[in-house]
Structure 1
């Protein structure tokens, strides 16, 4: 009797069981989604934000970018943050000294163009005095080309018009009361860099917060929505009811240092 050959067909052996190493080598759905986000330049881990449309009353969740600055966390947000920092550095956001404005001297071509325009201005006034309309129209066309040439050379400022319009008297829409003292004027420094705090901090904006209370401490009473002052006039929501007694310093210092004083086990 002939020997029977073993059946080597994989299908006849049943399903092949994957090993743990094989399963670990297969990308999971989370990794596939991250790869798709990287391919299209989108955020890897968007943060769901609850939004409300006051016009339609609709509410929905939208994905907001995580804005991470680490490339291993989110390459798309890190690239956008790097591009923003480069733009800010180019605009001078991080400079520590005042920028020096180096004014360039007028070029020979600019001087010639200005002299030509001055001559045309004189000729135009003479033609206007004699009533030569054709000459005036021709000079207008030439002056228009001269002005365009002067703009292309990099000149700035307003050029005098051939026929200046009479200036109308400026009238204020609201007049200041004459029975009250003038508002104090603070001298403005010709500087672009703000004040430096604590030797190393130079914020671009400084705000003061009014808090009714924090934990067991009270800084002072603040006005709620619909509050009125002693004269019966409405007060702004969140303003201190008594600015003289409100402890602004402790209200600003304590919340910022509460993390350092948090009890630990």
Structure 2
């Protein structure tokens, strides 16, 4: 009924009413239901019954799907908590390959054999190259670590001599353990402290509230290159940390953006070290980028290299073949006076705190580690001045090479690695060039292999098992050969409208929640209404 005190015209009142889809979506968010479910058709080969299952989209960003992002954040928090203060060595024995993994590798072998035969006969192999690439992705997704073929090309060796402008690192004898030292207190209790470390990059110019005071003198090129290669710097830091600590340090880390739009690292480290040692490791850590020079522009605008099917990319005026990626690196290796394209280092600000298991400090650190995981890196630009700063950084990143395969190398007279037709400088699809990533193309969450003794999939399975046990539903082992899954295309007559699918999911979620409330009330001897009010709060 319309409010009698509302003096707006009927049309204005009607326009202010929420849309039905918005109401359904808001209700789904309130009840933790995915608002972008993926329709999958499940065919039961035993019964012949086909039905459509709504699978959660699994998004990690709140802007896309708040319920899925919230669940992923909770999962990461559980993963961090379980591995931070382990008291026993994690098991590292690999699982036996299952039938599905074996079948994928067999298909990969067949595809590789046919591809080699076509290549020997001088026939095109594009279709099989694509099929092999897709199989490799599927094999990794099935839980197989590493490349099936291993290393296919010789690794280039660089001098391991440390730079003269970097301090030396002590090397301690390694102990075969992933656990930190224990200490006995005056009360007889044993403590196993760990560390919470925050590392930042160096300054690129004076800033005020995260925005450069003078954008003309701000070193955007160094900021862009530091962001692109930040993940490599983290790898170096972990290597050096283990060398100085004397044991196999395990970590759970997240990468976020500072107010000045430079990436920084938060790391939960198992075990403890002195703050002086951690600062020394950060000061001595660097990563050298041995790439061809990209300071001189050779091709721009309408003057771009042209593709030749046999030779690759050519100079459009002279017909000269541009050096391939390997040839460019060979020239770099042959020059005794060559310098790395870029050297990335941490800044002087290093924060290291000791953390004890089960304390409020540990819970607060875990919340802080996962605080921004549901937001994109680009959301750090939260003002007009910050967005202008981000736009200037994006302009530099547009033509900065992000990987050896980046099309931007053509701008500087070098063919990218694995060059193919259609490459245009400034149109690389790499994550580093997207505005929402601000130059950082690595993973947001970095977890060492021996952290929690479980994979993320196993952590998900733990949550599933707990819910099913609470609901009194038997978790039957999956029959890998019983079901055939296929995506449902938009417009399929069997796929209900999104509002109908959301309403069905909401109904199911409410039914599960009511059952869980009854079980919890019975277990705690409380009134059901008290449990429901507590959950609602």
Fold shared, TM-score > 0.5 on shorter chain: no
Identify which of structures 1 and 2 has the higher relative contact order when contacts are C-alpha pairs closer than 8 Å and 6+ apart: 2
Which has the larger helix fraction? 2
Which has the larger strand fraction? 2
Q: Tell which structure's C-alpha radius of gyration is larger.
A: 1
- When the two structures are superposed, what TM-score results if normalisation uses the length of structure 1? 0.33
- When the two structures are superposed, what TM-score results if normalisation uses the length of structure 2? 0.18
